[in-house]
């Protein structure tokens, strides 16, 4: 129903599932026309979602030039920038005049992804500069492109991770990023609209990992129920097993607890405070690593800073814990020596637990990055579980010493 000159543009905006469904109802000639007119990056995204046999069939419908480029893109790693590139950019040469450059842009610009930045190549197709359309339009006709181009080009390698490219877009506020091979040959560009999707996917994945959920690629309402069940259960099972250490610790201190049952009254608040502190530190460090505010080289600076913050937060919460126990004991009518010792032991334990939690929460994501793992794997529930075990040991040890049991 859509006029042919707009059909491809409309088609590219559809979800990949609907694109597949439509292609299944068209003739081979109609499929051939659509696939050859599609932008390379949108076509690659469609191919990535299709079965291999179908992709092979559709690639054979492409023109020789488009087929060569499609196969080249699909050979790059799945999460690399190479999978996102499009060859639809304006290329100029340094010995061109502004007049020649404008004529060239007018001739080829209609079919290009963007004309706001033109990329200057040498005779070997290597990237040597970039010039904005604004500079071309405002320069005198006989000016050489080499005189108005910028040679300090912000670029990225085809094998670079998509998230790295997205961070470059954020850092330099560019609308297109040239992609080169190891020999600095310009293979294509990545535009900001493609990287927006990458940023959304990466952020979603990080949130899922922080919440101890294995990433789910499909939208929530479209994902298979049992797939979601499995991905959410895996971490919960592992954390339940690891969390059972708390039970062993409590069992080990059974004698202490039997002699002073009141110690157990304050375990929940102690565990919750330590877990919250660890998650707080981990979230800040994971986000800072993701946006490039800190690197693994800042490990000791970060730990020093978190240690200092932990000491001060620990002191504040030690006082809060102490006053909370005093208030609860006072309301219950107990004001004996042992009640004061219990108050002190809770306060000191809370202070030490908060300090250690801050350090653990900050160090685990950094260590993950050092081991080439995703820092987001250091999820909130995992850190909270570790801190729970440590906090219980600290609390019961201090309680035993303070109450002389």
Q: Are strands 156-157 and 176-180 parallel, antiparallel or unpaired?
A: parallel
Q: Which residues of 14-31 are buried (b: 16+ CB within 10 A; e: fewer)?
A: eeeeebeeebeeeeeeeb
In angstroms, the CA 88 to CA 150 distance is: 21
In angstroms, the CA 377 to CA 208 distance is: 9
Give which of 153, 142, 143, 82 is closest to 117, Cα–Cα. 153
pLDDT for 90: 92
To which residue do tokens 């990329």 refer? 119
Q: What are phi and psi of 294, to 5 degrees?
A: -135, 160
To which residue do tokens 């080439």 refer? 372
211 confidence band (pLDDT: 50, 70, 90): low
The domain spans of the chain are 4-75, 91-191, 225-403
pLDDT at 339 exceeding the cut of 70:
no
Q: What are phi and psi of 24, to 5 degrees?
A: -70, -15
Q: Which fold has domain 4-75?
A: MgtE N-terminal fold (1.25.60)
Q: Are strands 186-191 and 176-180 parallel, antiparallel or unpaired?
A: antiparallel
Return the structure tokens found at 203: 């952020």
Q: How many CB atoms lie within 10 A of CB 131?
A: 24
The string of pLDDT tens digits covering residues 212-234 is 566 666 666 777 787 777 777 77
Q: Are strands 117-121 and 91-93 parallel, antiparallel or unpaired?
A: parallel
The answer to whether the CB of 93 falls within 8 A of the CB of 45 is no
The string of pLDDT tens digits covering residues 237-281 is 877 777 777 777 777 777 767 766 766 777 787 788 888 888 888
In angstroms, the CA 387 to CA 359 distance is: 10
H/E stretch holding 388 = helix 380-403
- Stated pTM of the model: 0.58
To which residue do tokens 């002073």 refer? 260
**How is 86-119 classified by DSSP, letter by letter?**
BS---EEETT-BHHHHHHHHHHHGGGSS--SEEE
Q: CB neighbours of 222 closer than 8 A, spacing ≥ 6?
A: none
The string of pLDDT tens digits covering residues 151-205 is 999 999 999 988 888 888 878 888 889 999 989 999 889 988 777 777 777 777 6
The string of pLDDT tens digits covering residues 21-39 is 888 888 888 888 888 888 8
Q: CB neighbours of 21 closer than 8 A, spacing ≥ 6?
A: none
pLDDT at 405 exceeding the cut of 60:
no
pLDDT for 259: 67
In angstroms, the CA 75 to CA 20 distance is: 21
Name the CATH code of domain 225-403 (choices 3.40.640.10, 1.10.357.20, 1.10.10.10, 3.40.309.10).
1.10.357.20
Work out the mean pLDDT of the chain and round it to a whole number.
Answer: 81
Decide if domain 91-191 falls under CATH 3.10.580.10.
Answer: yes
The answer to whether the CB of 118 falls within 8 A of the CB of 92 is yes
What is the three-class DSSP state of 346? helix
List the Cα angle 279/282/288 in 5-degree steps: 140
């Amino acid at each position: 129903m859509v006029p042919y000159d707009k059909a491809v543009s409309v088609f590219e905006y559809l979800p990949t599932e609907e694109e597949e469904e439509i292609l299944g109802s068209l003739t081979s000639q109609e499929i051939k026309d659509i696939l050859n007119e599609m932008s390379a990056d949108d076509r690659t995204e469609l191919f990535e979602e299709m079965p291999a046999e179908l992709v092979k069939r559709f690639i054979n419908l492409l023109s020789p030039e488009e087929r060569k480029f499609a196969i080249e893109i699909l050979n790059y790693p799945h999460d690399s920038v190479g999978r996102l590139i499009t060859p639809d950019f304006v290329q100029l040469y340094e010995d061109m005049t502004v007049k020649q450059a404008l004529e060239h842009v007018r001739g080829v610009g209609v079919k290009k992804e963007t004309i706001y930045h033109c990329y200057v190549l040498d005779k070997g197709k290597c990237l040597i500069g970039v010039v904005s359309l604004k500079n071309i339009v405002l320069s005198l006709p006989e000016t050489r492109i080499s005189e108005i181009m910028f040679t300090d080009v912000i670029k990225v390698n085809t094998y670079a991770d998509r998230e790295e490219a997205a961070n470059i877009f954020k850092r330099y506020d560019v609308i297109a990023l040239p992609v080169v091979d190891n020999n600095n040959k310009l293979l294509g560009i990545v535009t900001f609209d493609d990287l927006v999707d990458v940023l959304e996917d990466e952020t979603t994945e990080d949130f899922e990992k922080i919440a101890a959920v294995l990433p789910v690629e499909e939208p929530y309402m479209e994902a298979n129920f049992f797939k979601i069940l499995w991905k959410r259960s895996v971490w919960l099972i592992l954390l339940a097993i690891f969390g059972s250490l708390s039970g062993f610790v409590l069992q080990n201190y059974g004698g202490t607890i039997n002699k002073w049952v009141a110690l157990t009254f304050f375990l929940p608040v102690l565990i919750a405070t330590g877990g919250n502190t660890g998650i707080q530190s981990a979230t800040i460090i994971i986000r800072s690593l993701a946006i490039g505010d800190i690197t693994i080289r800042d490990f000791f600076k970060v730990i020093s800073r978190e240690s200092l913050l932990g000491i001060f937060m620990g002191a504040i919460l030690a006082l809060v814990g102490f006053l909370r126990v005093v208030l609860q004991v006072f309301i219950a009518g107990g004001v004996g020596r042992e009640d004061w010792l219990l108050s002190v032991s809770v306060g000191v334990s809370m202070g030490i637990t908060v300090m250690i939690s801050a350090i653990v929460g900050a160090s685990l994501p950094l260590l993950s990055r050092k081991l080439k793992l995703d820092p987001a794997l250091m999820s909130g529930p995992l850190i909270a579980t570790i801190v729970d075990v440590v906090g219980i040991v600290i609390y019961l040890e201090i309680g035993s010493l303070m109450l002389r049991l």
